[in-house]
Structure 1
Amino acid sequence: MKEKVKIEPIEQHVIDIVRKLRRNKRLRQQDLARILNTSSSFIGNVENVHNPAKYNLKHISRLADYFELSPRFFLPEYSLSEKKEAYSYRD
């Protein structure tokens, strides 16, 4: 059994937004990796609920430039801190 990975709600929100954009634009993980100047395995790790990898502000800035969006687009409109528990995933 894999170890439990905790992801904060805001982190999961960003991951979900990026994944949705990637799929809507029909981009592969490899394409997104090229945009972010990282490896496709990093993108796979971020999208894998059993891996603690996450996007950082530099990634969000590059994505905003590429998609011609504000960096604010990737963040929730309101704080997600009201949720007591972080997203938790198990096998």
Structure 2
Amino acid sequence: MSAIEQYVIDFVIKLRHKHKLRQEDIAIILDVDRTFITNVENIEKPAKYNLSHIDKLADHFHLSPKDFLPDKPQNYI
């Protein structure tokens, strides 16, 4: 997994905790199964958020999609 992918995942986890949401709540927002969110948050699984997911989350939380990305390039793994 690349550093930028991990950055996005970490951002969503922080957002989820800030708003006291469960993985299931994020799954409902994204119209995906809860197991997808579990897999995304498990570093051993290959599941990742895509741009459509970021767009839906940004809309739901009244953010810009670019808020989910780092200000500067990450070192890629």
Per the shorter chain, which TM-score range?
over 0.9
Q: Which structure 1 segments of 5+ residues have no match?
A: 1-6, 87-91
Tell me the equivalent position of 2:26.
32
Q: TM-score of the superposition, structure 1-length normalised?
A: 0.82
Give the counterpart of 1:14 among 1, 5, 8. Answer: 8
**Partner-residue secondary structure (3-state), 2:37:** helix
Cα shift readout 1:15-39 (whole Å, capped 9, x = no counterpart): 0000000011000000000000001
Q: Which has the higher contact order (CA 8 A, sep 6+)?
A: 1
Q: Which has the larger radius of gyration?
A: 1
Number of matched pairs: 77
The share of aligned pairs that are identical, in percent, is 53
Q: Name the amino acid aligned to 2:56.
A: R
Hey, which of these two has a bigger chunk of helix by percent? 2
Give the counterpart of 1:78 among 63, 72, 77. Answer: 72
Tell me the equivalent position of 1:68.
62
Tell me the equivalent position of 2:46.
52
Q: TM-score of the superposition, structure 2-length normalised?
A: 0.97
Q: Which structure 2 segments of 5+ residues have no match?
A: none
